């Protein structure tokens, strides 16, 4: 059994990560920390975990906790991971970070999009980008992993195979994506209360959302990205538009995707338009595509669970690869129906 710790386990992504780790056949959760919930039993804050962790109490983070562990997950807000990693990397075998702190390879891009200089630019090259279906080799045996954001995961899975195959133009790409409210985090915000979200659908982060450079880095394309908040708990649906580089058909677009993901257990390519409900509770992404001869656009859609393949599930998938375990250990391919 690999012994792991989770820093920031009280947020939605952290709690989903804790749920997956508690049910993992090869991982033993040594501790889980929560800055604002230290001393609170896990089952009190999250009753869904009461039976799985009856005696686990959220701890206050102390660097000494990491000594001797095989892996530590970081499920912290933007900016917090970068302050912990320099010390943590010396104490633990593998660091898996779910935040954006080490995703961008260029420190100048980080400063441009996040408004401050990167606190540990010398460590950026140490992190493998954690999207296995597209960047698997560096993840095998990795000592540091930057797990992609939920929006970039959906956009990259939809577009990257087509860019790599030369099937679409790498400029003028449009990504419209909608996320469930859990993507905004657990702390209450005026814009994410039930009364504001119910019966509403809104765009945000117009032309300057921080996931834009990550999507461009992962896809190799220049992208106009517009995120939306949808009145659902979890899920992402990304609708991507691109121009073909030559003669194209729906069958050819689907074949490029099918070939790219052949043998990938967590990606489903089919003719039916994907739905977020079908991916809920799984580490799966569902893809479909069309070519519209009337307008000349290629349309690619990707649905996934923003807390699963978009965060915690993908983090566990990367941890499995880093630790030499079965890549799918502890991860579900069967979703909730209702």
Q: What's the pLDDT at 245?
A: 98
pLDDT tens figures, 69-78: 999 999 999 8
CA distance 257 to 288: 8
Q: Which residue has the tokens 């990693």?
A: 85
Q: How far is CA 156 from CA 29, 202, 220, in A?
A: 31, 23, 9
* pTM attached to this predicted model: 0.96
Is 229 within 8 Å of 198 (Cβ atoms)?
Answer: no
- The Cα–Cα gap between 72 and 178 comes to 30
Q: pLDDT of 31-72, one tens digit each?
A: 999 988 999 999 999 999 999 999 999 999 999 999 999 999
Contact 59, 41 (CB under 8 A): no
User: What 3 state SS string does the chain have?
Assistant: CEEEEEECCCCHHHHHHHHHHHCCCCEEEEEEECCCCCCCEHHHHCHHHCCCCCCCECECCCHHHHCCCCEEEECCCCCCHHHHHHHHCCCCCEEEECCCCCCCCCHHHHHHHHCCCCCCHHHHHHCEECCHHHHCHHHCCCCEEECCCHHHHHHHHHHHHHHHCCCECCCCEEEEEEECHHHHCCCCCHHHCHHHHCCCCEECCCCCCCCHHHHHHHHCCCEEEEEEECCCCCCEEEEEEECECCCCCHHHHHHHHHHHCCCCCCEEECCCCCCCHHHCCCCCEEEEEEEECCCCEEEEEEEECCCHHHHHHHHHHHHHHHHCCCCCCCCCCCCCCC
Delimit the domains of the chain by residue range: 2-148+309-323, 150-306
Report the residue count for the chain: 338
pLDDT of 190 reads 76
Query: What is the rounded average pLDDT of the residues 216-242?
Result: 96
What is the per-residue pLDDT across 234-270, written as a single tens digit (0 to 9) for each?
A: 999 999 999 999 999 999 999 999 999 999 999 999 9
More confident of the two residues 190 and 23: 23
Architecture label for domain 150-306 = 2-Layer Sandwich (3.30)
Q: What is the pLDDT of residues 302-332, one digit of tens each?
A: 999 999 999 999 999 999 999 999 999 999 9
4-13, 121-130, 190-199, 207-216, range with the lowest pLDDT: 190-199
Q: What CATH superfamily classification does 2-148+309-323 receive?
A: NAD(P)-binding Rossmann-like Domain (3.40.50.720)
Active site residues: 150
């Amino acid at each position: 059994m690999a012994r792991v710790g989770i820093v920031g386990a009280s947020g939605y992504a952290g709690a989903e990560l804790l749920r997956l780790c508690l049910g993992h056949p090869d991982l033993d959760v040594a501790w889980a920390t929560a800055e604002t919930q230290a001393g609170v039993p896990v089952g009190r804050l999250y009753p869904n975990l009461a039976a799985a962790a009856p005696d686990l109490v959220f701890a206050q983070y102390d660097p000494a906790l990491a000594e001797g562990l095989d892996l530590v997950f970081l499920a912290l807000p933007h900016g917090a991971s970068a302050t912990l990693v320099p010390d943590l990397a010396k104490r633990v075998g593998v660091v898996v970070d779910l935040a954006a702190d080490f995703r961008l390879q260029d420190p100048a891009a980080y400063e441009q999009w996040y408004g401050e200089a990167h606190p540990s630019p010398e460590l950026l090259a140490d992190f493998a980008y954690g999207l296995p279906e597209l960047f698997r080799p560096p993840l095998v045996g990795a000592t540091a992993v930057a797990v992609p954001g939920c929006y970039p995961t959906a956009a990259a899975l939809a577009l990257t195979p087509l860019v790599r195959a030369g099937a679409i133009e790498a400029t003028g790409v449009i990504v419209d994506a909608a996320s469930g409210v859990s993507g905004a985090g657990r702390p209450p915000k005026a814009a994410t209360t039930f009364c504001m979200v119910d019966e509403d659908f809104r765009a945000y982060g117009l032309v300057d959302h921080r996931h834009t450079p990550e999507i461009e880095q992962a896809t190799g394309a220049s992208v106009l990205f517009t995120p939306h908040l949808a009145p659902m708990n979890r899920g992402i649906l990304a609708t991507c538009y691109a121009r073909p580089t030559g003669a194209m058909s729906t069958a050819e677009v689907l074949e490029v995707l099918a070939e790219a993901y052949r043998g990938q257990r967590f990606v489903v390519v089919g003719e039916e338009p994907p739905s977020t409900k079908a991916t809920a509770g799984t580490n799966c992404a569902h893809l479909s595509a069309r070519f519209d001869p009337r307008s000349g656009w290629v349309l690619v859609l990707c649905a996934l669970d923003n807390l699963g393949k978009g965060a915690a599930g993908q983090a566990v998938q990367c941890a499995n690869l880093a630790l030499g375990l079965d890549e799918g250990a502890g991860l579900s391919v069967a979703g909730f129906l209702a």
